Structure 1
């Protein structure tokens, strides 16, 4: 089909053609990996005078050595092996190999699955691959990390006889007319610092006079640090996240908190042991969230479009970040979205809200994706061009239990 013929296709037809082409490419890539595995089996590198097959491929197809090594490693994972006695062994990742044969997984997916399976039992490969069929490799890594935690969360928590003090370090050194600062902070302190810096480091709005913000991320964060120092000196107002003063939300079951067992989840999804949570729970800048607490305001009807801090805290505890399938953006990067749009009569309430990062918030408003709340879980209906059956999806990165039982 010529370029001119492409112009005759509708957007859905053109996108479907791209998806089909990519699947064909992936199928062909699998064939290439099987051939690479055969080169490895027959000792082709020694036969040709090379150190290994990756170095052979580096010259044969002009790959960078890093790329060649990736292809060899992936070929090893999805190819059958032949023992000296002639017996055929299944691939190291059999479920992954089957999916790759269908063309639904890329080489990056293979690497992601292999990475997460290092911390998981063999029977976990199938659910990981099922997740990979619908999500990008970065989401697979996040899903695998969460699944590993859920599989082993019943293991006995290590007990420290003499808890070590936090590893907080700060170095300051004047170099000419500039003070060079470097720091290393523990999880909790680091999360607090990140929560204060993040809203101040956002790019300045694009204007007709100045255009987009020209600063790099490092420059924006440096300026934010300077702004934070000024705010601390004034000590009358701190920056906000989602319309609420900077706080650190710790989410865990009340029984676990009372019994000092298990872990709590920070805003950035890192986990800290219950023993530390009990010490933090008394701090003014920390909010322990107990879902279903009667003192929290959960519905203000049509009184205002903006979500108050009390509702946002409950959304943070429930959604744990962007609720869009596969997204791992933390709560501080998220807006509260009206599931039934405010403009269509939707109320400002927990039952009509979902946390979405700015990117996915815009996507929901501008595309055919739909979001509903089913049993209190934000559930997303994909466009027909992506999934003709429009099968509902949830963010199993933050809520793996919705897909499988660990």
Structure 2
């Protein structure tokens, strides 16, 4: 193939060629976003054992998680939805979708239009997109703010809410698979809470495997709150309920636990999937109650059967933190995970355990990643779609070697 000599082109021809290339790239990016939307629509993340499509893309194409989330978010804005009856719904931003398909808008322009449209009615999308066709991102945002001001300048100013008495309040409500928590604390209790949350909510260190921590502050503090719950469950002194320290009981059939199907019932009568039960069963403060064919209890695992303080100390000395490749999380943020699942006869011992942070503990339970001990060192086998050779990996942040021979 003979490479073109761009030096023979005039400046106008060269610049025109660059503009044409950009249009082609944008059209191709639009096609890619439609494919990403289809991955989202068909539930590819759950099929592969990942939390969401962004996590899949991070490993598949080596994007950092922030970039992957941006692509998924843009794809959702531009994709047509199909209802269970087969009806096709227009994209959330139909004018933006049409302009993107023609190669007139970049991914950054899509995000900018979506940002300003949060404060504008749907009919404002056409003038915003028309402006975006000719201007850079900062101008689009300024145009959107000016348009919003013109539309709402005559609206009355919102009234400030009356201040509430400084008392501690907590409300919880299950919504789908998540528990919503709303709280108000007095100054002293609030300061104590912040002091506990702040060190847990620091961004994860940048790693070669996963890049910089992409979580927003709200996400980091939410994960820190969850970590705080785990730390409390591992504490020596907890309030008692019914004469024993606070525990969480999970009840399900033995067959469902082994086959990773069905649901388990919590003390609150809320139901959770079997795959999540396997991860929770690794943690202290959780009692699995396994039922036989006639629903009689076959086995009630006690807290003593979870990883003891002595075993945990040995794991900390060996793994020095989360053992997943590239993770820097310290031991206090980690759970002890049964390499061979407890439901499959796995023992609660150092030789059947590895330290994993919450994020990677979930990934191991839900995906095709595998973990085993090789010469006493935890090694991780990636899914075949990520590495066809499935070459074992270790955590290079804790050890000298990056790859281990199978």
Shared fold, TM over 0.5: no
Q: TM-score, normalised by structure 1?
A: 0.38
Q: TM-score, normalised by structure 2?
A: 0.38
